[in-house]
Each structure stands twice: as C-alpha cells, then as structure tokens.
Amino acid sequence: MSYLLLGEIFINVGGERTVFMLSVKKLSFSREELELMADGSDGYAWAVVDVKKGVMAAGDEYVGTMKNALLKLKSCIFDVFSVGVDLITGEINYCSPVNKKLIDKNSTKEVPEDKKERVETLVKYFFSELPIFKSEERKSRYSKRV
C-alpha cells in the first residue's frame, strides 16, 4: 500500500509566495519526487519516520507538521523519529526537536542508539534513488558476492 499526500502551504515572505511540499509514503521516493524535494529545499530535506510501521513523511515542510501527519495515520509517538538528510552527500543528521518526547523526561533530541540502525535503514530505503545511496547499494551487493 502506498500513501502519497502532497500538500501545498502558501506563505507570504517579503511579498513572495513560498510553497511547501509534504509526502507521506510507504514506498520509496521516485527520482522525480527527490528532484522536487531537492529543488525546494536547497539539497536538504527533513524526514520523520515511524520505525514500527516503516512509513515516512518527508519534504521541505516543518517537522512538527510531518510528525502530525504520521500521528494521524495512527503512528505511536514513541515510534516516530525525525532526521535531516543531505540529498547530495547522503549524510543523516539524527538530531531534531521531534525526537524529544515530552512524556519521557529522559529523552533527548537525538534518535536513541537502539533505534538508529532502523532509522538509517528506512532512510536509505526511502531515499534509495539518490546517487549516493545507489553507489552504496552497489558496493554492498558486490561485497556480498566476493
């Protein structure tokens, strides 16, 4: 099952109209979607993942809005984590205010260590059309054959 919700929010900033994009998906992003995301966000995108359901919300939208989109799909707050993804280098930033759970006083803005591997796997799956992740995939396939 594939979810794709494209929303547009218009904000006037200095007389210019700004459009934000939000995609909520169960399947990986296409090359066209990634190009749209990269064009609108200067090569950097925020993503919110549900580590239990394997669903992602991503785009140039506010992370709080992305988190709420997943919560509307019945995600549990303790399974939802936010990361930043550099669409050029593939670097993943695990620090985001969404990761601090107000219910849990011990939580921080960092994705917990026991969830990082799952988050990274999901990010690489959803952004698998990025050239940086395609080359990593080829390397891992080659190393398995050798």
Residue 135: per-residue pLDDT: 62
Is pLDDT larger for residue 120 or for residue 58? 120
Segment holding 126, helix H or strand E: helix 113-126
Q: What is the pTM of this model?
A: 0.75
Q: What is the pLDDT of residues 36-95, one digit of tens each?
A: 777 767 778 888 999 999 999 887 667 888 888 888 888 999 999 999 998 888 899 998
Rg value, the chain, Cα:
16
Report pLDDT for 52. Answer: 94
Question: Over the stretch 4-46, which tens digit does the pLDDT of each residue have?
Answer: 443 433 333 444 444 445 677 788 888 888 877 777 677 788 8
20 CB-side CA count, 13 A: 17
pLDDT of residue 8: 38
- Dist. CA 124–CA 137, nearest whole Å: 9
The CA-atom distances, in angstroms, between 25 and each of 18, 29, 85, 120 are 23, 8, 16, 16
